[in-house]
Amino acid sequence: MTVRSWLIVGILVLTGMPLAMAEIVGSGSAITQVTVYPDAARVTRTVKVDLKEGTQTVVLKGVQPNFDENSLSVSGAGTATVKILGAGIKSTFLAEPVDERVRQLEAKIQVVDDAVAALQNDMAVLDQKKAFLDSVRLFTGTQLPKDMASKVPTVDELKGTLTFLEEGTKAYGDGRQMNTIKLREKALERETLQNELNQVRSNNGRWERLLSVDVECLKPGDLTIELSYTVNDVGWYPVYDARVAFEKAKANLSALAVIHQTTGEDWSDVALTLSTARPSVGGRMPELSSVWYLMPQAAQLQYEPYYAKSKRAMNMALGGMSDSAMKEERMESAAPAAAPAPARAAVSYAQAENAGAALVYKVARPVTVKSDGSEVRVPLLAQDLDVVFEYAATPKLSTYAYLKSQVMNDPKDQIMAGRVNIFLDGAFVGNSDIQKTIAPGEKFDLYLGVDEGVAVKRELMEKKSDDTMLGNIPSPTKKLSYVYKITVQSYKPRAVLLKLFDQLPVAQDDKIKVARIQLSLKPDTDKYEGREGVYMWTLPLNPGEKKEIMISYVVEFPRDMVVSGL
């Protein structure tokens, strides 16, 4: 019966290896599994060795990345009966140069240099021909007028001279252009070879990191060893596509995981798992200090620019709508084709699994990720959502209405914060984002970008300053009166709901008064989510329906006072 043995050593780092141990070089080790976290990765390297009875050390060479030795763990399985005694990292100095590869690269560079020298020689010959042509052109330009005084050249003589100059000049230009291109190509080729040569030479006389595993073999046989370690300089993040079918009240939310790494070793056709856990954060909760001190300091008057207030008010009024979703840019997109769309190719999304407080996604196919920082995208998840649309608008800050819907996250998916590309009825309309992590089964607002099918406008209709004179003396109180008109209109083919936001100034000083507030339509609230002065109206709009809201108020303050925010 085949005997299989398993042993997992959590963390064993040996500071020295006994001299009596036989050393076995584990050739052909490869990275087979990688679990990628948002800011780190757990790499598993596998190697198969044949063991004889006794105590011995298995050594894996060519390990590139730097990692914490405390993260190293090892397990094994095979026909051999084995005890794994420990694992650790060894370093050895590479004293012998890699002569053969150096010689090959130097020979290739010499071939390129010889070709460059030949091209430069050709360029010198061309320049000599050009100098000769210039001398002929100069001679004919000065001597011909003199000869014509005594003898008129024939037409054939003139044509021959002209043809000679034209053909010679063209041959010179063509030859020089061709040689310039070849020299540029050779320069790039030499640079590539030189970079490789520098890299090879840098490996000569350096320290090499080795992974070593000490084992005690009780029964000979084969053993497959798996070593796992945690590396940094790696991570992943999601990018979402939201494809909305307005008339069907449906939305498909799909995500791609964007993976990147510069760990120092490539991952070739590995079994890839993505995790939402963050092991670098640590497992221990930070504790509060014993005392929270309050100390006096000089009072300072804090000012906030008006434009900053406006931007903050818009974000608050729209329930945290992102800046990217607020961009006031018109996106041009082609109308969808009338013919039925071809069937879409099936996508193999990652399989989601619960792993304690985190979610892990097992990618459906082997993945290769180079260690050059280039991004690799794999399908992560997809959800079909039933949506109830509503619009939100803050015409004081933006002339657009924004489409949104509250949706329920799938119970098996955790949605991380990330950018969302919005497609409305097949056309790309802009970008939005998901600003925080959404737990499985949690409701969240999905903002779907600008929809110009609902128009909003805010106009200043009147602004007056009351400069009442009392016996030719200005009144000590200044009054400024404002009248605004907000217009909304729907061009959608069915009824929609619009949440309209606006604000009136709020006095922060007893000497400033906001009075005579008049609204043609009563708002749902004048303290939206507890924010004073932020008004919200819920407006149902039928197809083609237009509504107007008139707002007027007066601001009174001492004439000698300078009021910011007006």
For 505-532, what is each residue's pLDDT tens digit?
988 888 888 889 999 999 999 999 888 8
DSSP-derived 3-state class of residue 560: coil
Helix 99-150 × helix 155-202 angle, to 10° = 160
Per the domain annotation, does 106 fall within a domain?
A: yes
Which of residues 188, 213, 231 is at a domain's end?
Answer: 231
Question: Burial, 194: exposed, middle or buried (Cβ in 10 Å; 0-12, 13-18, 19+)?
Answer: middle
Burial of 391-424, coded b for 16+ CB within 10 Å and e otherwise, reads: bbbbbbbbebbbbbbebebbeebbbbebebbbbb
* pLDDT score recorded for residue 429: 80
CA distance 35 to 271: 8
Per the domain annotation, does 385 fall within a domain?
A: no
Among 143-152, 310-319, 340-349, the minimum mean pLDDT is found in 310-319
Under a CB-based contact definition with an 8 Å cutoff, are residues 90 and 17 in contact?
Answer: yes
Per the domain annotation, does 394 fall within a domain?
A: no
Among 6-20, 62-76, 80-94, 279-293, the minimum mean pLDDT is found in 6-20
188 and 108 in a single domain? The answer is yes
Q: List the structure tokens of 511.
A: 């000497």
Q: CA nearest 55: which of 83, 14, 16?
A: 83
Under a CB-based contact definition with an 8 Å cutoff, are residues 57 and 21 in contact?
Answer: yes
72 and 162 in a single domain? The answer is no
Q: Which residue has the tokens 């307005």?
A: 246
77 and 65 in a single domain? The answer is yes
Q: Residue 433, Cα to own-chain centre: how many angstroms?
A: 13
Spatial neighbors of 344 by CB under 8 A, at least 6 apart, are none
Per the domain annotation, does 346 fall within a domain?
A: no
13 and 73 in a single domain? The answer is yes
Q: List the structure tokens of 219.
A: 């029964």
* pLDDT score recorded for residue 134: 79
82 and 212 in a single domain? The answer is yes
Question: Of 143 and 418, which is predicted with more confidence?
Answer: 418
* pLDDT score recorded for residue 522: 94
Helix, strand, coil fractions of the chain, as percent rounded to 5: 20, 45, 35
Per the domain annotation, does 133 fall within a domain?
A: yes
pLDDT at 254 over 60: yes
Question: Burial, 149: exposed, middle or buried (Cβ in 10 Å; 0-12, 13-18, 19+)?
Answer: exposed
Per the domain annotation, does 372 fall within a domain?
A: no
Under a CB-based contact definition with an 8 Å cutoff, are residues 277 and 354 in contact?
Answer: no
Per the domain annotation, does 384 fall within a domain?
A: no
CA distance 120 to 125: 9
110 and 190 in a single domain? The answer is yes
| Structural domains counted in the chain | 2
Other Cβ atoms closer than 10 A to 387: 21
Per the domain annotation, does 51 fall within a domain?
A: yes
Q: Which residue has the tokens 């749902």?
A: 524
69 and 155 in a single domain? The answer is no
* pLDDT score recorded for residue 313: 39
120 and 212 in a single domain? The answer is no
354: pLDDT confidence band, cut at 50, 70 and 90? low
Structural domain span for residue 115: 99-202
Q: Which residue has the tokens 């497992």?
A: 283
Among 3-17, 61-75, 511-525, the minimum mean pLDDT is found in 3-17
Among 36-40, 237-241, 342-346, 430-434, the minimum mean pLDDT is found in 342-346
122 and 184 in a single domain? The answer is yes
Question: 250-261 and 207-219: which strand pairing?
Answer: unpaired
Among 141-145, 275-279, 483-487, the minimum mean pLDDT is found in 141-145
